[in-house]
Amino acid sequence: IGYSGLGDLFVFLYFGLVATVTIPYIYIASSTNASRFAENQMTVMEVMCHELFIKSLVAAIPVGLLGTGIIAVNNLRDRATDVRVGKNTLAVRFGEAFTRMEYMTLILGSYLMLVPLSSILTIQEDDARNIWIFLPICSLPTALTQLKAMGFGGKDGAALNEHVGGTAKVQLLFCVLLVVALRPGL
């Protein structure tokens, strides 16, 4: 995957979408309609059109964006060696400026996804519930440190080592706060 330039897409799909929506998928398929699913009467499409699945899929997008941000830092850091060994990562194919812009888009995009999440992920009909979905913004100061390092004119090469882990910390903090925000009964 690293040699084909599809690493970013793989991380977004697998560590974002698949990892996040698998549990809701299994829950829906095995809950009240379990007998229909077991008897092949409930189709995969019916499960995927279920409200919980759709909400989980939307919530998975910022998780995938942040996970992809980790690989973007890694690819920017390693692009010189990747060229020598024939890896065609996005950083190699499109260059440093593209990768820095990709990173900023991924990280800021994860925070921007809170806006649509606030309108569709309400578990209760209470308008105050929508405010809690913005709790992951508390991780923004940590993200700004990483964005500064990855921004134009920022760090490069081995100086980015700490920001691979730093971006992972942003993802962890964002996701923990997102889970707290989604918890029923807040």
CA separation for the pair 166, 160 (Å, rounded): 9
Best CA proximity match to 113, nearest among 175, 48, 45:
175
Distances (CA, A) of 127 to 40, 132, 163, 166: 39, 10, 37, 34
pTM greater than 0.95 (yes/no): no
Query: SS3 of 11, please?
Result: helix
**pLDDT single digits (tens) 23-77:** 888 888 777 655 555 555 567 788 888 888 888 899 999 999 999 999 999 999 9
